[in-house]
Structure 1
Amino acid sequence: MLIPNILAVLAAVAIGPSVSAASSQAYNWQNVKIGGGGGFTPDIIFNPSEKGLTYARMDIGGAYKMNTDGSWTPLLDWADNTRWDYWGVDAIATDPVDTGRLYLAVGMYTNSYDPNNGTILISTDYGTSFTESPLPFKVGGNMPSRGINNILYFGARSGHGLWKSTDYGATWTNVTNFPSVGTYAPDPSDTTGYNSDLTGLAFVTFDYTSGTSGEPTPTIFVGVANEGSDNIFYTNDAGATWSAVAGQNNTYLPHKGVLSPAEKVLYISESNGSGPYDGTLGAVYKYNITSGVWTDITPVSGSNLFFGFGGLSVDLQNPGTIMVAALNSWYPDGQIFRSNDSGVTWSALWSWGSDSTLDKWYTYSDSLAPWIGPDYTVTTPGTLQIGWMMEGLNIDPFDSDHWLYGTGMTIYGGYDLTKWDTVHNVTIESLANGVEETAILGLISPPSGPPLLSAVGDIEGFVHYTLNTPPNASYTNRAWTTTADIDFAGNKPSNIVRVGTATSSTVLQVSLSTDSGATWSPDYGAAANVTGGHVALSADGDTVLWSTGTNGVMVSQNMSTFTAVTSLPSGSIIASDKLNDSIFYAASGADFYLSVDGGETFDVTSTLGSSTAPVKIVVNPSLTGDVWVSSDKGIFHSTDTGSSFTALSAPSEAWAIALGAPASSGGYPALYAAADISGLVGYYRSDDTGATWVQINDAAHGFAQASANVMTGDPRIYGRVYIGTNGRGIWYGDIA
């Protein structure tokens, strides 16, 4: 059986730890536990030969290996700023013969968002370590159609076709006689290259019942993203020649191709979109490999068919038992179908009841991630409890009761699947314990109350009362999808402000709390068409300064109507003084600005060297006018309210910075920075206002793209710092 492949006769490169010019200090790093995944899981795979060997891949959060207790261990936390795109996993394969071998196709985007070519990561020890096999083209773990690509051979995106390796992935060659590279793009007119990129190849499936042991598998099926032309191809001679499978229906795009070996049948799920967001029509087919007969086994038709199909699995213990997921049934809920007779008849997880409610045949549990909730089976339409973006669905090949599927939010599944066929009531539970896939946009650690509050992409954010227990709920009352930023009032730290990113005619995107985020009220001075950006709350909590993502910089006092701050450029970074209610700070380009009238007007007071892109302003919580700014030219410090700045000598560039508890009572706060020091981008702490630094991250914790991460220091615990990442959630570090 041939194993994963990539391109261009290039040697694999061993991955080793980086070495810092600064001294280092050992830290213990742990995830702040959210517990429910928090993002899209495109695929989950079981090794067919080794019981319990299971992996999951994420679109922006790397890859995970399942532990014996059902929890998950991340495999790519070592990815640092030079390898940030490795957290985008576009395809995954586990070797069914040499089961310790694992292959990952990594790369975040195929357009200009990511300058790097893709890589095949090769492990011989179950993902404990990897070598790199570089590709001469890009790979897109976070591109459209990221749920349909698979790696056995390697089916590439962007018109690069099919690639093959015969040396365990160390080198790859293009299968030039393969007849199609795929013609479908979600939106060919998209000038960003994101939706106009060709989807490419969808799956590569081996018929491992063909051929003989020790020889290349002769029969292989490949699905290609062509709409309206042949899109299922095969070879019967191990790739020497390829042909379109006769009799196929090419109305839709193939998503998954799954072999049922005992039946000698290939099952295909299809959609009229490449996913993971789209798909309004689709079909399910089975192809009898022996007879060459195609059969349409789509579970529903007519008005009941308003979605495409994604996740697909067969029960290897019970031939003829298959399951398929609606790729995107946004209303009234997601949907999954099951058949015990090879698709002749189907049963579903829900159907419409007689009183416009849903009859649901499952019991729902979110005990491992209570915030996903509610923790009961919802029968009213409109709650997406089963899930959405369901591209990965698999039944354990050794245990017919164990199943897992990925959604846009978490990993679901259960351990009583065969009850579906008797009492028709299975348990669906969140099973993403250990998976932290959130994108963090802001963090604060006030001096009193809960230790941490977060601004999170897609799921708002959380009050973290404890760091190692999943929160019971995300932000409530004034709720929106993404929280862009968050801040607290220095003199009244239970007063919090947060801003959102969704344009809405009814939900204002500024919310205020006076009880440390337990409850929230809308700021009625905000307009519904103003969103995003960054926010600062004055020291006493009465003034909100908002550098919006859409309408420049605005200010409001006591919930009055937000008015434009004409003296600040659009996109300025902002901060409030933590002691003086009238003082705000701002920066844009090389200019530093000061306001002494509550943010109404600003004046340029000094410059930040030759900076062109300031990133973050932080203010000493115990000393008015003691200000730090990070930028593309390093870190700058002012002790005179911004009248003058001194550039620190070590960092040549810096992104997130933070202040935390001092090393000794009454001392100066510890300074933390994601920075380039002596040519090494890492995470550093200084206890002497930047004169000397220690590196606090290590070879096992790279935190990926430094410029995408946020940071805050803990004002109560010396040495503790929080790092919010773009794909691996929140980390907290303590001195070891």
Structure 2
Amino acid sequence: MRRRTLAASLGAAAVAAAAVPGTAAAKAGGRCEDDYIWRNAVVNGGGYVPGIVFNETEADLVYARTDIGGLYRWKEGSQTWKPLLDWVGWDRWGYTGVVSVATDPVQPRRLYAAVGTYTNDWDPNSGAVLYSGDYGDTWGVAELPFKQGGNMPGRGMGERLAVSPFDNATVYLGTPNGNGLWRSTDHGRHWSEVESFPNPGNFVQDPSGDYSDDNQGVLWIDFDLAGERVYVGVADPDDPLYVSADHGATWQPVPGAAAALGRADGNRTIPKQAAFDHENGHLFVATGWDPGPYNGAPASGRGGSVARLSLATGEWTDVTPAYNPIGTIPGFGGLTVDRKAPGTLMVATQNNWWPDEILYRSTDSGATWETSWDYVWDANWSWPPARTDRFDMDPAGSAWLSFGNADDGPAYAVKHGWMIDALAIDPHDSDRIMWGTGATIWGTESLTRWDAQGALVGWDSVAGHQIALPIEPFTVAVRVEGLEETAVQDIAALGGTVVSATGDLGGFVQTDLGEAGVQIRRPNWTSGRGVDFAGLDPRVVVGTGDVEGETDGHVGVSTDGGATWLTTARLDGIAGGANAGSVAVSADGAVIVWSPGNGTTAPVFSTDLGRTWTPVDGLPAGALVRADRANANRVYAFAAGTFYASTNGGLAFAATRATGLPASGPVDFRAVPGRRGHLWLVGGEADAAYGMWRSSDGGATWRRVRDFAEADAVGFGKARNRHGYPTVFTSAKAGGVRGIWRSTDEGRNWVRVNDDAHQWGWTGKAVSGDPDVYGRVYIATNGRGLIYGDIAD
């Protein structure tokens, strides 16, 4: 192999890189007298991991990319993941969506990440390629003139980034939406389009919306080591595969690819993933009709295929697994080969929603396959059948992976997964595999025991029915520790207990921040949206979330500090789904006020823990509701620039005379513990009222806190002194610097408590202090979980 270590600039057409500090900078707005230690409240995963990449040269060097939560590096000693993109700040929050990752096979310390969360206008910035020379500890940024979609459909395909093993200064990038194939020849610092590449792709699976209408574009790049050829997969069912024999100078379609990667029933498919078996001279390609990760097969049946190309002869062979216990194969996600055992490969279904995903394994280059589980039918072919598995799933440390369910015949509560696009056998160890799902990473170091097990199911000719053959299952366990990917929506710090509302997972109750805690399952929130507690009796906790079905109400209630929960009555006329709105409970816990999120139903109150609801008098639909933390008679609301107050516990409201508050943009306000009528309000939008205001008379009058040009979340913790004002924390912008700020003197002075190495992208949803631990701050992030900081000893 040739190694190039220095390259000239690409000139005016290239996009220049910008430096990113990799260590903490001085704290803005005055130096904080306290240094902070930052940790995650442990959930373990909680989001989609679409890519896991092992370095081909250095053992134990592994990276996991997430769709909204950044990039991680494996730490073999502790068996945990280290976050690498916590330095990403508010203005470039889209960099936390990682489209692809590439680790250099020649100089393993070099690392690249293609970033950008949305290709539509949800993300205001263009994408970028991040480059590092120290395993991701520090980074440079090469901005791109187009957007990338780390959280868009198709994010599990690829990898779209690839380092050339023939010249490791050369890095390729596949892009969506007609932007083609791009290349850097100076280790990722400058990029330009490969103008000779002929096909930018044309496949749009669903053109009906601004989220599903991406042209998936150029999907992956991989290298034939023996022939020194570059292969590129393209989202074009009629012309899906290209090859270059001159290091990317010229390109030709691979003969027979369209027919080999297509489908006999005429459904269009695209080459989602590929892998080389270099020893046997094979290229394997997994296809699908849908870019994923949500959908499996079209109504017509099987949704994808696996094809094998002989690099020596150009012959294509269909090696699609023919058997699925449920009858048809919905489609395929992840594909991987065993570098230590030529001819061995694995592929995962996507999405075999019921009863479970299937991992297929072949040791003869795809000629035959074994499944990770199978049905066992009795003599009467009774439904549902039993099931037998090659491995046991051990969710230790992540008990919530059962999602509150129990095994139901072949549908186990703890599944092999779903949305499995990340599937990787360690190139240095045939026994190790990891795969990512929509919630976690699973792994084992006993994979080759599969091959000694033989068949899972046989036939009892005497009894006349199937039997499970005796095998000794190995164990697959959680391998996601340290990777925290929840999108936290709200925080209630009760003192010794923290309750969080989270997107997709509902919420968690934690009495030990070092353990995953208990998932809130009643009500069965698909996404938790808000939590509150009674200021004078924190045993009473309420929350609201999106629900499905017709059983659970949107509001949940706990009277024992979150240990157990009850659902409330479903309000007539409000369906499930995203209608959670906001909820508040009076300081004595006697009245719950709920403002539904459907935009048409006025807020309601309950005096019987949500068994019945009565319309509130005086509030518009959609008003944000909060309760006073010290006065049980006072409840507050805000809508479209108007502040409302109730003096009878939330049964009726009247508009206050307050003026000058934000009339548009997202707004939040919170009541101060132990201080009657003390309120802090944040929010608004640029070019209008935007910042922070405070009131000490129950919202009748407000004074702007001039320190902040922008502020988006505010919360309170233990006072510095015994009789002092509660510590105020905010996610805000002061002096041109975004950060997490703290005041211990009622807002007269502020210090930034985080630094440039700890920014976590967007932090505008919620922030809270702790009532028992001075200085502790909890920060809701959009994909990096619940961050908390303590003053260093």
TM-score normalised to structure 2 length: 0.88
Aligned with 2:603 (options 536, 554, 559): 554
Structure 2 unaligned blocks of 5 or more: 163-171, 264-268, 298-302, 379-384, 455-472, 685-689
CA distance in 2, matches of 1:568, 1:186: 44
Cα deviation 1:409-448 (Å, max 9, x = unaligned): 101111000000013633211100100011001110124x
Identify if the C-alpha distance between structure 1 residues 608 and 232 changes in structure 2 by more than 3 Å, giving closer, same or farther: farther
Compute the displacement of 1:325 (Å). Answer: 0.5
Q: SS of 1:420's equivalent?
A: helix
Q: SS of 2:526's equivalent?
A: coil
1:451 matched to 2:508 = no
Matched ranges for 1:588-603 at <5 A: 588-603=639-654
Compute the displacement of 1:377 (Å). Answer: 11
Identify if the C-alpha distance between structure 1 residues 730 and 419 changes in structure 2 by more than 3 Å, giving closer, same or farther: same
CA distance in 2, matches of 1:535, 1:484: 9
Aligned with 1:340 (options 351, 354, 363): 363
The question of whether the paired residues in 2 share the 8 Å contact of 1:488 and 1:497 is answered with: yes
User: What letter is aligned with 2:189?
Assistant: A
Aligned with 1:674 (options 713, 731, 743): 731
| Residue in 1 that maps onto 2:30 | 23
| Residue in 1 that maps onto 2:748 | 691
| Residue in 1 that maps onto 2:116 | 107
| Residue in 2 that maps onto 1:177 | 196
Aligned with 2:61 (options 43, 53, 67): 53
Matched ranges for 1:651-666 at <5 A: 651-666=708-723
User: What letter is aligned with 2:523?
Assistant: R
Q: SS of 2:393's equivalent?
A: strand
| Residue in 2 that maps onto 1:702 | 759
The question of whether the paired residues in 1 share the 8 Å contact of 2:27 and 2:754 is answered with: no
| Residue in 2 that maps onto 1:391 | 421
The question of whether the paired residues in 2 share the 8 Å contact of 1:79 and 1:703 is answered with: yes
The question of whether the paired residues in 2 share the 8 Å contact of 1:8 and 1:171 is answered with: no
CA distance in 1, matches of 2:386, 2:522: 25
1:68 matched to 2:98 = no
Q: SS of 1:422's equivalent?
A: helix
Matched ranges for 1:484-503 at <5 A: 484-503=529-548
The question of whether the paired residues in 1 share the 8 Å contact of 2:184 and 2:190 is answered with: yes
User: Mean Cα displacement is larger for which, 377-386 or 61-70?
Assistant: 377-386
Compute the displacement of 1:236 (Å). Answer: 1.9
User: What letter is aligned with 2:595?
Assistant: S
Compute the displacement of 1:606 (Å). Answer: 3.0
Identify if the C-alpha distance between structure 1 residues 317 and 161 changes in structure 2 by more than 3 Å, giving closer, same or farther: same
Q: SS of 2:68's equivalent?
A: coil
CA distance in 2, matches of 1:327, 1:532: 30
| Residue in 2 that maps onto 1:619 | 671
User: What letter is aligned with 1:181?
Assistant: P
User: What letter is aligned with 1:101?
Assistant: R
| Residue in 2 that maps onto 1:146 | 155
The question of whether the paired residues in 2 share the 8 Å contact of 1:259 and 1:266 is answered with: yes
Q: SS of 1:616's equivalent?
A: strand
The question of whether the paired residues in 2 share the 8 Å contact of 1:576 and 1:584 is answered with: yes
Cα deviation 1:657-716 (Å, max 9, x = unaligned): 001110011211011111111221111000111111010011210121133x31111011
Matched ranges for 1:298-447 at <5 A: 298-300=320-322, 304-355=327-378, 356-373=385-402, 380-383=409-412, 385-423=415-453, 425-447=473-495
Aligned with 1:713 (options 758, 769, 782): 769
User: What letter is aligned with 1:623?
Assistant: R
User: Mean Cα displacement is larger for which, 692-701 or 302-311?
Assistant: 302-311
Matched ranges for 1:453-472 at <5 A: 453-471=499-517
Identify if the C-alpha distance between structure 1 residues 71 and 377 changes in structure 2 by more than 3 Å, giving closer, same or farther: farther
Cα deviation 1:62-107 (Å, max 9, x = unaligned): 0000012321100001111122111100011001001110000011
Cα deviation 1:342-380 (Å, max 9, x = unaligned): 111111111111151221111111123232249999572
Identify if the C-alpha distance between structure 1 residues 340 and 30 changes in structure 2 by more than 3 Å, giving closer, same or farther: same
Compute the displacement of 1:478 (Å). Answer: 2.7
Q: SS of 1:304's equivalent?
A: coil
Q: SS of 1:372's equivalent?
A: helix
Compute the displacement of 1:610 (Å). Answer: 4.7
CA distance in 2, matches of 1:310, 1:606: 58
The question of whether the paired residues in 2 share the 8 Å contact of 1:45 and 1:56 is answered with: yes
User: What letter is aligned with 1:547?
Assistant: S
Cα deviation 1:12-57 (Å, max 9, x = unaligned): 2111366654113244333334342110001101110111111110
CA distance in 2, matches of 1:440, 1:380: 34
Aligned with 2:519 (options 462, 474, 479): 474
The question of whether the paired residues in 1 share the 8 Å contact of 2:763 and 2:780 is answered with: no
CA distance in 2, matches of 1:459, 1:418: 34
CA distance in 1, matches of 2:481, 2:676: 43
User: Mean Cα displacement is larger for which, 268-277 or 242-251?
Assistant: 242-251
CA distance in 2, matches of 1:621, 1:271: 54
The question of whether the paired residues in 1 share the 8 Å contact of 2:36 and 2:754 is answered with: no
Q: SS of 1:493's equivalent?
A: strand
User: Mean Cα displacement is larger for which, 304-313 or 242-251?
Assistant: 242-251
The question of whether the paired residues in 1 share the 8 Å contact of 2:683 and 2:713 is answered with: no
The question of whether the paired residues in 2 share the 8 Å contact of 1:590 and 1:614 is answered with: no
CA distance in 2, matches of 1:586, 1:608: 14
| Residue in 1 that maps onto 2:280 | 263
The question of whether the paired residues in 2 share the 8 Å contact of 1:271 and 1:307 is answered with: no
CA distance in 2, matches of 1:645, 1:298: 67
The question of whether the paired residues in 2 share the 8 Å contact of 1:589 and 1:614 is answered with: no
| Residue in 2 that maps onto 1:235 | 244
Aligned with 1:578 (options 617, 620, 629): 629
User: What letter is aligned with 1:582?
Assistant: N
Identify if the C-alpha distance between structure 1 residues 35 and 643 changes in structure 2 by more than 3 Å, giving closer, same or farther: closer
User: What letter is aligned with 2:582?
Assistant: H
| Residue in 1 that maps onto 2:693 | 636
1:220 matched to 2:230 = yes
| Residue in 1 that maps onto 2:466 | none
Identify if the C-alpha distance between structure 1 residues 343 and 619 changes in structure 2 by more than 3 Å, giving closer, same or farther: same
CA distance in 1, matches of 2:121, 2:373: 42
Identify if the C-alpha distance between structure 1 residues 599 and 97 changes in structure 2 by more than 3 Å, giving closer, same or farther: same
CA distance in 2, matches of 1:553, 1:100: 57
CA distance in 1, matches of 2:603, 2:189: 55
The question of whether the paired residues in 1 share the 8 Å contact of 2:180 and 2:194 is answered with: yes
1:39 matched to 2:47 = yes
User: Mean Cα displacement is larger for which, 296-305 or 654-663?
Assistant: 296-305
1:536 matched to 2:584 = yes
Matched ranges for 1:80-95 at <5 A: 80-95=89-104
CA distance in 2, matches of 1:30, 1:366: 26
Compute the displacement of 1:644 (Å). Answer: 1.0
The question of whether the paired residues in 2 share the 8 Å contact of 1:652 and 1:676 is answered with: yes
| Residue in 2 that maps onto 1:512 | 557
CA distance in 1, matches of 2:548, 2:451: 45
The question of whether the paired residues in 2 share the 8 Å contact of 1:357 and 1:379 is answered with: no
Structure 1 unaligned blocks of 5 or more: 212-218
| Residue in 2 that maps onto 1:163 | 182
Aligned with 2:314 (options 292, 304, 308): 292
Q: SS of 2:484's equivalent?
A: coil
Compute the displacement of 1:477 (Å). Answer: 3.5
CA distance in 1, matches of 2:173, 2:476: 33
The question of whether the paired residues in 2 share the 8 Å contact of 1:35 and 1:432 is answered with: no
Q: SS of 1:495's equivalent?
A: strand
| Residue in 1 that maps onto 2:220 | 203
The question of whether the paired residues in 1 share the 8 Å contact of 2:529 and 2:543 is answered with: yes
Aligned identity (percent) is: 38
User: What letter is aligned with 1:233?
Assistant: Y
Compute the displacement of 1:306 (Å). Answer: 3.4
Identify if the C-alpha distance between structure 1 residues 264 and 273 changes in structure 2 by more than 3 Å, giving closer, same or farther: same
